[in-house]
Amino acid sequence: MKYADIKYYDIANGLGVRTSLFVSGCTHRCKGCFNEIAWDFNYGKEFTEKTIEEILNSLEPKYIKGLSLLGGEPMEPSSQRALLPLLRQMKKRFPQKDIWCYTGYTYEPDLLNPNGRAHCEVTDEFLSYIDILVDGEFDQSLHDISLKFRGSRNQRLLQIQQEGCPPLSLDS
């Protein structure tokens, strides 16, 4: 997997000060996307063990609230597979810090369903590490600048619950 960017001390993509990883590769290609350059799966730098360690080190300060995954598309199956070691290590080292994931896929049909478009052999474990999921493709016709942490009204802000419980919508 490649990644487009890492933003340290980010305050725009989740609550508090965060590290945000922008992965490369997206098949949605939403009209009006803010990060079209990251659609290309070959754009950017290689995601390596060194990258994982740099991200984990950036999370050490107490004032860093957590990690945000954006894209491109972090829920593309190839991205899930590549990111899973980072999520495992993060939750082991920093269980008190949260993980936000922004995806154009939708939680119920695309991710949770074993036959869903983005579901693969690691999806269930991947989702078990996600605290907040922002789901749904960006829809320019539903763009709304008053929304917190989303770009269009069709996107949802979900607090992922324990296994067997439905997600809690944080939309107001």
Note the pLDDT tens digit of each residue in 110-166: 999 999 999 999 999 999 999 999 999 999 999 999 999 999 999 999 998 655 555
Domains of the chain: 2-169 (3.20.20.70)
Compute the average pLDDT of residues 34-47: 90
Query: Is the pLDDT score of 172 beyond 60?
Result: no
- Closest CA relative to residue 67, chosen from 23, 134, 125, 14: 14
Q: Supply the pLDDT for residue 165.
A: 53
Query: Is the pLDDT score of 35 beyond 90?
Result: no
Q: Supply the pLDDT for residue 135.
A: 97
Long-range contacts of 118-122, Cβ-Cβ distance < 8 Å, separation of 24 or more: 118/75, 118/76, 118/77, 118/80, 119/77, 120/77, 120/80, 120/81, 122/77, 122/80, 122/81, 122/84
Q: Supply the pLDDT for residue 72.
A: 93
pLDDT tens by residue, 50-104:
999 999 999 999 999 999 999 999 999 999 999 999 999 999 999 999 999 999 9
